Amino acid sequence: MSKIRFTEPNREILARRDSIINDLTRLVDPAGLITSTDECRAYETDALTAYRKMPLAVVLPKTTEEVSAVLKYCHDTGVKVVPRGAGTSLAGGAIPSEDAVVLGLSKMNRVLAVNYDDRFIRVEAGVTNLSVTAVVAENGFFYAPDPSSQLACTIGGNIANNSGGAHCLKYGVTTNNLLGVRMVLIDGSIIDLGGDYLDSAGLDLLGLVVGSEGQLGIVTEATLRILKSAEGARPVLFGFPSCEGAGKAVADVIAAGIIPVAIEYMDKAAIEICEAFAKAGYPLDVEALLIVEVEGSDAEMDATLADITAIARANGATTVRESRSAIETAAIWKGRKSAFGATGRVADYLCMDGTVPTGKLSYVLAEISKIVQRHGLRVANVFHAGDGNMHPLILYNANDPSQQSKAEAAGDDILRLCVEVGGCLTGEHGVGIEKRDLMRYQFDDADLVQQIRVRAAFDPRWLLNTDKVFPLDFRCQG
Amino acid sequence: MQTNFSLTALADAHVSESEKILRACVHCGFCTATCPTYLLLGDEADSPRGRIYLIKDMLEEEKPATPQVVEHIDRCLTCLSCMTTCPSGVHYMHLVDHARAHIARTYTRPLPDRLLRGMLAKVLPFPGRLRLALRVATVSRPIRKWLANLPGGAQLAAMIELSSSFKRRRPTRRLPGATVDRPRGRVALLSGCAQQVLGQNINEAAIRLLTRHGIEVVQPIDEGCCGALVQHLGYESRALDAARHNVDVWTREIENGGLDAIVVTTSGCGTVIKDYGFLLRNDNAYAQKAARISALARDITEFLHELPLQDGVRTTGQVVAYHSACSMQHGQQVRDQPKSLLRRMGFVVREVPEGHICCGSAGTYNVLQPEIANRLRARKVTNIEKVKPQIIASGNLGCITQIGAGTRIPVVHTVELVDWAMGGPLPDVLEGCLG
**Measured between alpha carbons, how far is residue A220 from residues A80, A94, A431, A461, B181 in Å?**
18, 16, 22, 21, 70
* Amino acid letter, residue A150: Q
Q: What is the pLDDT of residue A478?
A: 39
Q: Within chain A, which residue ranges are assigned CATH 3.30.70.2190?
A: 233-340
**Protein fold of B319-430:** Rossmann fold (3.40.50)
| A216 has pLDDT over 90 | yes
Closest CA to B372 of A87, A66, A31, A290: A31
Å between A96 CA and nearest CA of chain B: 14
List the single best residue of A37, A41, A279 to mutate versus B (max B Cβ within 10 A).
Answer: A41
Q: Does A177 touch chain B if contact means CB atoms closer than 8 Å?
A: no
Which residue pairs, CB below 8 angstroms and at least 24 apart, start in B292-298?
A: B292/B251, B292/B254, B293/B246, B293/B247, B293/B250, B293/B251, B293/B262, B296/B250, B296/B254, B296/B259, B296/B260, B296/B261, B296/B262, B297/B261, B297/B262, B297/B264, B297/B270, B297/B273, B298/B261, B298/B262, B298/B263, B298/B264, B298/B270
Please name the member of B32, B43, B68 whose beta carbon is closest to the beta carbon of A152. Answer: B32
B184 phi and psi, to 5 degrees?
Answer: -95, -5
Closest CA to A429 of A155, A158, A83: A158
Rounded to whole angstroms, how far apart are CA atoms A198 and B270? 54
Closest CA to A380 of A409, A345, A349: A349
Q: What is the pLDDT of residue B182?
A: 82
Rounded to whole angstroms, how far apart are CA atoms B167 and B2? 52
Q: What is the pLDDT of residue B173?
A: 54
Say if CB B347 and CB B317 are below 8 A apart. yes
* Amino acid letter, residue B72: H
- A474 or A33, greater pLDDT: A33
Q: What is the pLDDT of residue B168?
A: 47
pLDDT tens, per residue, chain B with 435 residues = 999 999 999 999 999 999 999 999 999 999 999 999 999 999 999 999 999 999 999 999 999 999 999 999 999 999 999 999 999 999 999 999 999 999 999 999 999 999 999 999 998 888 888 888 888 888 888 888 888 887 777 887 887 777 766 654 554 555 677 878 888 999 999 998 888 888 889 999 999 999 999 999 999 989 999 999 999 998 999 999 999 999 999 999 999 999 999 999 999 999 999 999 999 999 999 999 999 999 999 999 999 999 999 999 999 999 999 999 999 999 999 999 999 999 999 999 999 999 999 999 999 999 999 999 999 999 999 999 999 999 999 999 999 999 999 999 999 999 999 999 999 999 999 988 775
Please provide the CATH number assigned to the domain covering B7-106.
Answer: 1.10.1060.10
Sign of the Cα pseudo-torsion (B336, B337, B339, B341, in order): positive
Q: Does A396 touch chain B if contact means CB atoms closer than 8 Å?
A: no
Q: Residue A345 and residue B24: Cβ atoms within 8 Å?
A: yes
Domain A1-229+443-478 in CATH 3.30.465.10? The answer is yes
* Domain boundary assignment for chain B: 7-106, 319-430
Rg (Cα) of chain A, in Å, rounded? Answer: 22
Å between B213 CA and nearest CA of chain A: 32
This prediction's pTM = 0.94
Q: Residue B29 and residue A47: Cβ atoms within 8 Å?
A: yes
Rounded to whole angstroms, how far apart are CA atoms A417 and A98? 34
Domain A347-420, CATH number (from 1.20.120, 1.10.3450, 1.10.3470, 3.30.70): 3.30.70
pLDDT tens across A427-464, in order? 899 999 999 999 999 999 999 999 999 999 999 999 99
Query: What is the DSSP-derived secondary structure letter of residue A205?
Result: H
Say if CB A73 and CB A28 are below 8 A apart. no
**Protein fold of A233-340:** Alpha-Beta Plaits (3.30.70)
Q: Residue B29 and residue A345: Cβ atoms within 8 Å?
A: no
Q: Residue A39 and residue B68: Cβ atoms within 8 Å?
A: yes
Q: Residue B23 and residue A338: Cβ atoms within 8 Å?
A: no
Say if CB B102 and CB B17 are below 8 A apart. no
* Amino acid letter, residue B426: L
Q: Within chain A, which residue ranges are assigned CATH 3.30.465.10?
A: 1-229+443-478
The lowest-confidence range among A10-19, A284-293, A469-478, B161-170 is B161-170
Q: How confident is the model at residue A477 (pLDDT cuts 50, 70, 90)?
A: very low
Closest CA to B385 of B420, B417, B354, B422: B354
Q: What is the pLDDT of residue B167?
A: 53
Rounded to whole angstroms, how far apart are CA atoms B184 and B193? 28
Sign of the Cα pseudo-torsion (B17, B18, B23, B25, in order): positive
Rounded to whole angstroms, how far apart are CA atoms B331 and B269? 10
Q: Does A358 touch chain B if contact means CB atoms closer than 8 Å?
A: no
Rounded to whole angstroms, how far apart are CA atoms A447 and B297? 66
The burial class, CB within 10 Å (0-12 / 13-18 / 19+), for A161 is buried
Query: What is the DSSP-derived secondary structure letter of residue A116?
Result: T
Q: Residue B68 and residue A341: Cβ atoms within 8 Å?
A: no
Rounded to whole angstroms, how far apart are CA atoms A334 and A342? 11
Query: What is the DSSP-derived secondary structure letter of residue A121?
Result: E
Strand-by-strand arrangement of the A262-267 sheet: A319-322, A233-240, A288-295, A262-267, A378-384, A392-396, A348-351
Rounded to whole angstroms, how far apart are CA atoms A350 and A379? 10
A186, A190, A191, A195: CA torsion to nearest 10: 130
Instruction: Give the strand pairing for B215-218 and A80-84.
Output: unpaired
Closest CA to A342 of A408, A266, A235: A266
